[in-house]
Amino acid sequence: MTSPDAELLSLLDRTIREHRLFQPDDTIVVAISGGADSTALLNLLTRLPGYTLRLVAAHLNHCLRGVESDADQEFCREMAARYSIPFRSKRVDVRKFASENRLNLEDAGRRARILFLDEICSEYGAGAVALAHHADDQAETILMRLLRGSGMAGLSGMAYRNDRDYVRPLLEISRSEIEQYLRRAGLSWREDASNSDTTYLRNRIRHELLPDLEKYNPAIRSSLAATASLLSDDEALLAELTEQAFTKLCRTGEGETVCSVAQLRILNPALRRRVLRRAFVQLTGSLDRVARNHILAICSMIESDRPNARLSLPQRVTILKEYDRLSFRLTAGTDQDAAPNLIITEPGYYRLPTGALTVQISEPPADFKTVPAGTAYFSLDKVPFPWQLRTFHPGDRIIPFGMSGRKKVKDIFIARKIALSERKRIPLLFCGADLIWIADLGVSELCRIDSPLDVKVQVTWHP
């Protein structure tokens, strides 16, 4: 008959191997707080049969509980010394960090820990950072996310291993099993009084909701953990399908991710929402502050018959729908490429942020029909200098070539399907109050050439 400790070590070994958390000879940073969970994790990792792990103990002092926080740090230092392993610690005023970054304490603490642990992991070239979350933590996390509203990814709970190489070897072990193990081993731990403060949602779930649910299902904690495991497998499959769809429908460039509106429309709605989140992550690196209503707003934009639309989202991201383009862009610098007002008094080379304009004395072309869209010819008798070059303003009108009445430039842009973001990049050339040329789109009837001999100037736009 095997001992409880041997069974626990066997379960831990199976979890590590099944989920490929790390290799038997890896360097592992172990995040320790002094609590029962991390105290047990560090001890168990030193006892794993067949493993020769190089362990580094890491403790972040949040400076939230005064002398108690300092005592936790000293307890962790002594624990690392007992195992003769390196100990790294850092003091961070999390309350100040939260205030400076406009975060709540929980989020500030999480971000501070990630920064600290990533730093230690990099310093030691570690294969993973081991966290002490256990089965009860998993159940609490799932209930928290369910109460707040979450999709499959959230209800999958905490991952055994995430993309930062943070691993959770204890996810199949309960809090009671951990405490029983520590008592059998004669190991002490620190108790954080804040864990009993029911002003925090997690603590209310731990001390109030879960005990009530156990009246209906005594195995509710393990049931929730099992459900999360199943959903995690399904989530992995959907993540693979999402990546395939994203690769097919979207392309990325500097500061921009662009997707096809038409192809997004025909996607299954669930897959479409995932692709949109994936596009956001591609641009920003995270989904911080992006909620379900943000994604649904983008979906409404896609389904709308309006050819152009704009939506502002968290993290300074702007979503632009421009005919069949749906682009995710960082807001900073959105309008910086607009061409400025420029006065042209003579032939020359005029450089702009979006290109350059060449104005030169020229002979007439052999055939006006062969003139490219970016080039126009003018008679200075009809449109004398000075000219003004500027960007589009609402209400601008032109007499299109071959017509007698004026037409809104906006309507020309719409007819030619010029995206909203591109309209401020197209130069408009004026002679006095008259618009005589829209670069790449055509000249005004006012510039009609009566005789090739009247041609004096060639203007070419180089975007």
| List of domains in the chain | 4-213 (3.40.50.620), 236-330 (3.30.465.60), 342-462 (no CATH)
C-alpha count within 13 angstroms, C-beta hemisphere, residue 434? 16
Burial of 59 (0-12, 13-18, 19+ CB in 10 A): buried
Residue given tokens 């999390």 in the structure block: 94
Beta carbons of 58 and 120 less than 8 angstroms apart: yes
**CA dist 171 to 14, 155, 176, 222, Å?**
12, 15, 13, 10
Burial class (CB in 10 A: 0-12, 13-18, 19+), 372: exposed
- The pLDDT of residue 264: 96
Residue type, 289: R
Nearest to 165 by CA among 50, 70, 26: 26
Q: Round to whole Å and give the CA distance between 22 and 261.
A: 42
The verdict on whether omega for the bond into residue 386 sits within 30 degrees of 0, i.e. cis, is yes
Edge-to-edge strand ranges of the sheet holding 442-443: 342-344, 387-390, 428-431, 434-438, 442-443
Q: How far apart are CA 167 and CA 126, in angstroms?
A: 12
Q: Which residues pair with 458 in a beta bridge?
A: 360, 377
Tell which residue, 58, 170, 78, has the closest CA to residue 118.
58
The residues near 209 (Cβ < 8 Å, ≥ 6 apart) are: 143
Angstrom distances, CA of residue 169 to CA of 59, 139, 266: 18, 15, 41
pLDDT (0 to 100) of residue 338: 46
Q: Where are the beta strands (DSSP E) in 62-174?
A: 87-91, 128-130, 166-167
- How would DSSP label each residue in 24-77? TT-EEEEE--SSHHHHHHHHHHHH-TT---EEEEEEEE--SSTHHHHHHHHHHH
Q: What is the DSSP string of 318-353?
A: EEEEETTEEEEEESTTTTTTSPPPEEE-SSEEEEET
pLDDT at 454: 75
H or E element, residue 355: strand 355-361
State the DSSP code for 237.
H
One digit per residue, the tens of pLDDT, for the chain of length 463 reads 568 889 999 999 999 999 999 999 999 999 999 999 999 999 999 999 999 999 999 999 999 988 999 999 999 999 999 999 999 999 999 999 888 887 788 888 999 999 999 999 999 999 999 999 999 999 999 999 999 888 888 899 999 998 889 999 999 999 999 999 999 999 999 988 777 878 778 899 999 999 999 999 999 988 998 898 889 889 989 999 999 999 999 998 877 899 999 999 999 999 999 999 999 988 888 887 788 888 988 999 899 888 888 888 888 888 999 899 999 998 754 444 444 578 788 888 887 777 788 899 888 888 888 888 889 999 888 888 888 888 888 888 999 998 888 999 988 988 888 887 788 888 999 888 889 999 989 999 999 888 877 777 999 998 8
Q: Give the relative orientation of helices 292-303 and 269-284 as an angle to the nearest 10 degrees.
A: 110
* pLDDT recorded at residue 337: 45
Retrieve residue 242's tokens: 């999402």
| Locus of tokens 């030169």 | 360
Residues 330 and 316: beta-carbon distance below 8 Å: yes
pTM of the model: 0.66
Q: What is the pLDDT of residue 331?
A: 74
